Structure 1
């Protein structure tokens, strides 16, 4: 019998974000590891994600791609985990989840590519400038223990992953507020469990 939830990933990808969220949700799932050069580009997987990118999940026949969407979906699909605030209290939750998926992701990627928008272009790009994005992000994580208030949520999984990776690889500014937030995140059992699972899948030469 096919699993109710199938997780497509590669341990050297954003699939680590989705894995962490699956572990936080307490979901039971089947893992399918794909290779960049072969199975990720195969027709069988393109039927799941035509972009030939991971991660993706298939839950009871429904496909979800894009890490932020996967995090939000799993929070709703597994409500007992308490990973989304009540609907009437979701303003900050949605704001910062999609701030991370939009301006932060864009700013970090363009900086890594050596692209800095001109003053004229800053009005066109959603993040304005890298420095402005980092300042806004710093203010958000410094405001409370978690990004949407007093309770950990799916928004912390996604935004927190951006910060943890950024600190590790030097793609975001190293600031005390980011380090403090990252330390809180890294103490979560689900985060540690997810890393152990993905680290065990890493190729020996990696």
Structure 2
């Protein structure tokens, strides 16, 4: 792979915060384009040409623009295989790795949003995630099976989930159960989290936030 620079369109107070952690964990060469959400920088014609939904995270690498949080994590971890944050295609753990990354986008996020907005529950047979309680129980059981989602191996999936659970428990959207709290602490001990937090603090200060 050449040393092309990845562009991260970023605001530390958005879902792109976890992507910055991942980039630091991968040791990837990247630059940040700060997107001021308060001023509507995510709604400009220039940004909407990249991501019509006006959402972060969004990245650009060479001629490829990648949106959608789950896609970005898979893409970046595979782009830097030497970092060891994604099982190889022939690794038996690859299926579980993809499952838990997809579970985040397909089940966790919609279930948590519906729960937080107090939307009426629909029949589990027609709900993509079944029910909020079943979704949460499934996650907590997996967290109890090892230090990380793949047992003893830390992966990009843990960066995604560690970031998301820290944010959602911090706002009281997800209960801070013992298994969740212990997992957040284990994942958050990775040096990439501290590096990203330090860089983001400087970014916020420079932006006058």
TM-score, length basis structure 1:
0.92
Aligned length: 202
> 1:111: which partner in 2?
115
Rounded to whole Å, the distance in 1 between the matches of 2:6 and 2:139 is: 33
CA apart distance, 1:205: 8.1
Cα root mean square deviation, aligned: 1.6
Cα distance in 2, alignment partners of residues 187 and 169 from structure 1: 20
Structure-2 separation of matches of 1:167 and 1:77: 31
Tell me by how many angstroms 1:116 deviates: 3.5
Q: Indicate the residue corresponding to 1:145 in structure 2.
A: 147
Aligned-residue offset at 1:166:
1.9
Structure-2 residue corresponding to 1:45: 47
Unaligned segments of structure 2, at least 5 residues: none
Q: Is 1:78 matched with 2:93?
A: no
2:100 is the alignment partner of 1:96: yes
**Alignment counterpart, residue 202 of structure 1, candidates 187, 201, 204:** 204
Q: Give the distance between the partners of 1:116 and 1:65, measured in 2 at CA.
A: 30
SS in 2 for 1:200: helix
Query: CA separation in 2, counterparts of 1:111 and 1:78?
Result: 36
2:197 is the counterpart of 1:191: no
Conservation of the 8 A alpha-carbon contact between 2:124 and 2:131: yes
Which position in structure 2 is the counterpart of 1:56?
A: 58
SS at match of 1:47: helix
Deviation at 1:199, TM superposition (A): 2.7
**Corresponding residue number in structure 1 for 2:8:** 7
Q: Which has the higher contact order (CA 8 A, sep 6+)?
A: 1
Rounded to whole Å, the distance in 2 between the matches of 1:162 and 1:136 is 16
Q: 2: CA distance between counterparts of 1:195 and 1:111? A: 29
Specify whether residues 114 and 202 from structure 1 end up closer, same or farther in structure 2 by C-alpha distance, changes over 3 A only.
Answer: farther
TM-score by length of 2: 0.91
Q: Over residues 127-163 of structure 1, what are the superposed CA-to-partner deviations in whole Å (9 max), with x where a residue is unaligned?
A: 2221111110101111111102221111111122221
Conserved 8 A contact 2:21-2:159: yes
Gaps of 5+ in 1: none
More moved, 193-202 vs 11-20: 193-202
CA contact (8 A) 1:97 1:155 kept: yes
CA distance in 2, matches of 1:179, 1:105: 18
